[in-house]
Chain A
Amino acid sequence: MQLDNSSTNIAASLALATCTLLGSTPALANESVDNEWRFDTAILYYGETDRVSLVEGVISATKDFGDDHIFNGKLTYDGLTGASATGAVPQDTVQTFSRPSGHGGYAVAAGELPLDDTFRDSRVQLNAQWTQPLGDNLRGSAGVHASKEYDYLSLGMNGSLAQDFDQKNTTLSLGLSYQFDQIDPVGGTPERLGIMPIPTYIGDDYDDDHDDDYDDDHDDDHDNAYPDRNGTQNKDTVDVLLGLTQIINRRTIMQLNYGVSVSDGYLNDPYKLVSVVNDLGQTQQTLFESRPDQRTKHNVYWQTKYAMDSGVFDISYRYATDDWDITSHTLESRLRFNITDNSYLQPHIRIYQQTAAEFYQPFILDDSPLPTFASADYRLGEMDAYTVGLKYGQQLDNGDAWAVRMEYYQQNPKNAGFDEPGQLADLDLYPSVKAMMVQFNYQF
């Protein structure tokens, strides 16, 4: 029986191309024609107050090679500079820390949260994805990615199948991805809960090779600094994603995904620290963090889109839980108002909440036994976060489109019930992180 694929389209196929699982969203309303490249480009600036700033550029190119055989290639570049929280606690006196390379150190003023300001990295990522019909109501997609930054390499591949039922009103999809990550930390891989050496020379800012810390010619240096450290570490990640897409009525489409992700290998952040404090809250030692070497995550994602007469309402909710005891809820919504036939305004809101990992602790008490696992990375602690944003977009007469968006993102880490001894009670162990994002898109 020859009932061929009906109104499949770039948008739906791209869904697979971007590793999203979905099927039956029908045709693209734009003027896309076979054998023409379509480019989506964007540049994003992300800046945190006093911390990290990031510039990220994306070029995504898509082409239908005929009859819905679609290729998508994507190039991402990002440059990161600035300081990030190390996990060590603030003190009411000046603190000194070694740089990750082991060469020199840095001082943190009294009352300040220790930030390592050497982070300076650039990353290049390449994605390629091929999507095509495999039968009357079946689509397949396969892709690869590679990402490289100074101390990190990530390689991955994925495959998905999407099967339509009930005149394409229902789509079931199954996706699998495998990712191999390799980290080669600056200064070598620190030992789990190993003691960070205190730099010998104490001064205000006394880097001997601060600027070289993340430079490419640096490999030999860090080997010398910590000759006994391990080098490269690996991590394997397998993801399985099951999706159900259902068209509810002429205006409503709903998606429900269930995903499992299993990571195995080196899951530490080699630059993160944990302070060991006494009952006065004074730091006695600074250790490198230790996370388990396996993590299994489950999540459920639900999304609904509703077509209004003059816009689109989009709402999604995600529940995630893992065997590190982190549970999170994410609620996100976008509301697109079409101002004219070819311009729109789109407010965006996102609310996020997570519980702490079972091994998260803001510091270790020196009179308690050393745990096997400990991390003071606030990203594994209890936290609320929200994002508010606004986007304006316009379609040009020649078919090109541009858009600009601004977003404000705030993270509010919380104390997950830890008593704060001595001076720590008077210090802010959980400062908020505030960030602005500005993004410009151009599509041609």
Chain B
Amino acid sequence: MKKINKLLCIGLLASQAIGCASLGVQPWERDLLAKEEMALNAEGVDLGLDDHIYFSKEATSGGRAFAGGGCGCN
């Protein structure tokens, strides 16, 4: 799993570095990204409920959002 993690990191950095010059779109090319389901926080209510459940059942929290849980369930 550590190896996978390392690979992911390297891959990510490499793709960022190589792609930098050509990343992005023109302002008028955002039609697909503008869709509600393409928002990174689409289905926010679901994500919030999931965060609450996993916060109370697992040792790790946060990442997507702040790690605090606001409940005495952990």
User: Which residues of chain A (305-346) have a CB below 8 Å from chain B?
Assistant: 305, 307, 312, 316-320, 322, 324, 326, 328-330, 336, 344
* Residues of B contacting A: mostly: loop
Tell me, in angstroms, the Cα distance from A44 to B38 when the chains sit together.
24
Least Cβ–Cβ distance between A61 and chain B, in angstroms = 11
The answer on a CB contact under 8 Å between A328 and B58 is yes
The answer on a CB contact under 8 Å between A320 and B63 is yes
Query: Which of A97-105, A197-205, A239-247, A274-282 lies at the interface?
Result: A239-247
Inside 8 A of B66's CB, which chain A residues have their CB? 19, 158, 175, 177, 239, 241, 259, 261
Least Cβ–Cβ distance between B68 and chain A, in angstroms = 4
Query: Which of A108-116, A222-230, A295-303 lies at the interface?
Result: A295-303
The answer on a CB contact under 8 Å between A328 and B45 is no
Most buried by B among A19, A170, A352, A409: A19
Inside 8 A of B30's CB, which chain A residues have their CB? 7, 26-27, 247, 250
Tell me, in angstroms, the Cα distance from A181 to B64 when the chains sit together.
22
A-B contact count (CB 8 A): 230
Inside 8 A of B52's CB, which chain A residues have their CB? 56, 76, 78
Q: Is B71 an interface residue (CB 8 A)?
A: yes
Tell me, in angstroms, the Cα distance from A6 to B47 when the chains sit together.
27
Tell me, in angstroms, the Cα distance from A247 to B54 when the chains sit together.
29
Q: Is A441 an interface residue (CB 8 A)?
A: yes
Please pick, from A42, A167, A237, the residue contacting B49 in the complex, using a CB distance under 8 A: A42
- Closest A residue to B29 by CB, please name it: A250
User: Which residues of chain B (18-74) have a CB below 8 Å from chain A?
Assistant: 19, 23-27, 29-42, 44-49, 52-54, 57-74
Query: Which of A8-16, A133-141, A420-428 lies at the interface?
Result: A8-16
Give the B interface residue count (CB, 8 A). 53
Tell me, in angstroms, the Cα distance from A76 to B27 when the chains sit together.
37
Tell me, in angstroms, the Cα distance from A247 to B36 when the chains sit together.
15
Inside 8 A of A125's CB, which chain B residues have their CB? 70-71
Query: Which of A87-95, A147-155, A187-195 lies at the interface?
Result: A147-155
Tell me, in angstroms, the Cα distance from A389 to B30 when the chains sit together.
30
The answer on a CB contact under 8 Å between B68 and A261 is yes
User: Which residues of chain A (12-65) have a CB below 8 Å from chain B?
Assistant: 12, 14-15, 18-22, 25-30, 40-42, 44, 46, 54, 56, 58, 60
The answer on a CB contact under 8 Å between A330 and B48 is no
- Closest B residue to A357 by CB, please name it: B59
Q: Mark A340-358, 1 if CB is under 8 A from B, else 0.
A: 0000100000001110010
Given A6-B27, A303-B64: A151 and B32 interface contact (C-beta under 8 Å): no
Q: Is B17 an interface residue (CB 8 A)?
A: no
Most buried by B among A123, A246, A248, A344: A248
The answer on a CB contact under 8 Å between A18 and B48 is yes
- Closest A residue to B72 by CB, please name it: A152
Least Cβ–Cβ distance between A393 and chain B, in angstroms = 9
The answer on a CB contact under 8 Å between B58 and A352 is yes
Tell me, in angstroms, the Cα distance from A344 to B73 when the chains sit together.
34
User: Which residues of chain A (160-197) have a CB below 8 Å from chain B?
Assistant: 166-170, 175, 177, 179, 181, 183
Least Cβ–Cβ distance between B66 and chain A, in angstroms = 4
- Closest A residue to B39 by CB, please name it: A11
Between-chain CB contacts (< 8 Å), 17 pairs: A14-B39, A14-B44, A29-B36, A80-B73, A156-B70, A175-B66, A179-B68, A239-B67, A245-B40, A247-B25, A247-B33, A259-B63, A259-B67, A318-B63, A354-B60, A357-B59, A380-B59
